Amino acid sequence: MQGFLTASALKLPRSPLYTAIRAGWVCSSCRRNGAPRPITTLSSYRRSFSSSPAPKSAAAPKPYYVTTPIFYVNAAPHVGHLYSMVLADVFKRWEVLKGRQAYLCTGTDEHGMKVQRAAEFQEVPPKIFCDSNAETFKDLAHKANMSNDYFIRTTDPGHREAVEFFWGRLRERGYIYESKHEGWYCVSDEAYYPENMVEKRVNSMTGKSFLASIETGNEVEWTEERNYHFRLTDLRERLLQFYKENPEWVVPASRMADVVSWVQNNLEDLSVSRPVSRLSWGIPVPDDPSQTIYVWVDALINYLTKAGYPMWTPGSEDALGWPADVHVIGKDIVRFHCVYWPALLLALDLPLPKRVLSHGHWMMDSRKMSKSIGNVVNPFFAIDRWGVDMMRYFMIYHGGISHDSDYDNSFIVELYKRGLQGGVGGLLNRIMRSKAWDARSIIQQAHEGGFKELEGTLQLMQPEISELRQATESLRREALESFEEQLNPGRALKEIMQVVFQVSKPTTLTYRALDHGKAREVEAAHQIIYHAAEALRVAGILLQPFMPEKSASLLDRLGVDLGQRTFDHARFDSDSAYGVSTVPLGEGAQSSLFPPIPAEG
């Protein structure tokens, strides 16, 4: 079959998409719905999907757009999937807290050889296999209290149309050609590896030797076939220039360095199709049903599909959020997202995502979780045992971005007891349940008459009061920096909790002082109580993206009005109306916001 060299070589065969566009293309979903929207000429097609929008007079700001990777359905979800979901959800909720429109996309990657083989092993059709497993991932998103706007499946008809359209444009621009390909292919990774990235290993269970990817440790096999290729090497300089101009594009910095090194030293043209004789479960190559589009080309386009591609309105191409503000991914798929994906977008002059956050893996006993070893944590069971907000808190607080993290139930218990039960919960109880003072009266005093200046020995307490105020006032800035500059919600959570820990000690002392009737210290004590209440109110507002349900309960117990829970209200002295709980506070440890963990027995 003849290769496709340049878009101007008119004598070469064109794809059905190209022909359809010239004749007035209508996508198949529009035809099914009886609402055709034809693009009547090639020039209008180019204008409609240009990445250079027309000037806007009073355009709304681009919505925030964050994505998880789409999860491969060949196996059940594990806590690594849950971590990606929660990270992305926290980013989305953070932007909503700030008052910005935000979209969150997650979903499932359902094509490729791994899925085809898994379905064959279970002796079910691939689509039925995918339907079942996709529902499991949907259930996990729901159970994790994920606020996703979209759940995409790569078997969706709309996604298939976007992939076909994308392929047609690559081909029209001369980026697709056909040739013989041979090399080491890894089914588990759905990727080819060059010779210098393959090594001999020994299976510790069987003692048999095998060839494996140095990068992932998964077995590779030698493959020779004819297929289509993407001219990835033609984009080397554009990629390197982009990395140079955007040195913080990939987080953490160590993985940015790995990406640059890969492009400089390992870049090859990318095999972007597989013979149907070897892989039939996927999207056929337009014009050539003997070939199936490579799963990673298919999968990456999902981010565009849910952002409305290719049916973008001229001048409003960013209406559904593209380019993505953050792609949240695991560190094992950095090359696909940070080399292949930007190259594909550059080939069509489409905007690149703004940032990519690649997080570490979850380990158990310092070993990577593996079904064969039996050290995989079922995320459904974990949420049932610990509660959704506790798991969200644990994963963000303890999870790693630049490093891997150990999963251990003892870590969860420790974080719960110190941070939530003893920290947030204990502070809330001391402020709102005390019989030695009335929180509402103290808050009114602070806003209406103020506090007297401390005199004599009581001035010794002034530094503690000032430090509480300073810590609370700086919390917004610290959290913003963590989210927006460092892409590190875990750091933001630790900053919030540090203020809670800082407040706990003086409020404990104050409680004891007032409870023992030391009336001369009342003025100083009231100041500390107010500052503690303000710190907890601000912390509660900023904790909402991390623990949506528990934070709502915390603010209810503080009596914070629903309209006073935005990012703008996370300021010292910004709310004078709280202090009376809107829900029963109860008595005793079991009715606390964070009750003791039941003993196992």
Per the domain annotation, does 57 fall within a domain? Answer: no
In this prediction, residue 525 carries a pLDDT of 80
How many domains does the chain divide into? 2
CA neighbor of 283 nearest in space, from 179, 185, 163, 158: 163
The alpha carbon of residue 310 and the mean position of all alpha carbons in its chain are separated, in whole angstroms, by 24
Q: Token match 């003692």: residue? A: 207
CA gap 146, 86 in Å, rounded: 7
Domain co-membership, 105 together with 160: yes
Domain co-membership, 158 together with 99: yes
In this prediction, residue 457 carries a pLDDT of 55
Q: Token match 């460092």: residue? A: 486
Residue 482 DSSP SS3: helix
Per the domain annotation, does 597 fall within a domain? Answer: no
Per the domain annotation, does 14 fall within a domain? Answer: no
In this prediction, residue 505 carries a pLDDT of 64
Q: Tell me: the pLDDT tens digits for 178-198?
A: 987 677 777 767 677 777 777
Domain co-membership, 439 together with 373: no
Q: Read off the DSSP letter of residue 477.
A: H
In this prediction, residue 196 carries a pLDDT of 77
Domain co-membership, 437 together with 362: no
- Cβ-contact 62, 119 below 8 angstroms: no
484: exposed, middle or buried (C-beta count within 10 Å: 0-12, 13-18, 19+)?
middle
Domain co-membership, 366 together with 489: no
In this prediction, residue 13 carries a pLDDT of 35
Per the domain annotation, does 286 fall within a domain? Answer: yes
CA gap 419, 413 in Å, rounded: 10
In this prediction, residue 528 carries a pLDDT of 85
In this prediction, residue 579 carries a pLDDT of 97
Q: Which domain holds residue 562?
A: 413-591
477: exposed, middle or buried (C-beta count within 10 Å: 0-12, 13-18, 19+)?
exposed
User: Token pair of 391, please?
Assistant: 């798991």
Per the domain annotation, does 2 fall within a domain? Answer: no
End-of-domain residue from the set 383, 404, 435: 383
Per the domain annotation, does 402 fall within a domain? Answer: no
In this prediction, residue 367 carries a pLDDT of 81
Per the domain annotation, does 23 fall within a domain? Answer: no
Domain co-membership, 249 together with 319: yes
End-of-domain residue from the set 383, 403, 422: 383
CATH number of the domain encompassing residue 445: 1.10.730.10
Per the domain annotation, does 514 fall within a domain? Answer: yes
In this prediction, residue 451 carries a pLDDT of 77
In this prediction, residue 34 carries a pLDDT of 42
What's the length of the chain?
A: 601
Please give the average pLDDT of every successive group of 10 residues along the chain, which has 601 residues: 30 37 41 38 34 46 97 92 97 98 98 93 95 97 98 97 97 94 72 75 74 77 85 98 98 97 94 93 95 96 97 93 98 96 98 98 83 81 97 97 94 96 94 90 91 62 80 95 96 96 69 53 81 96 98 98 98 96 92 87 41
Domain co-membership, 311 together with 264: yes
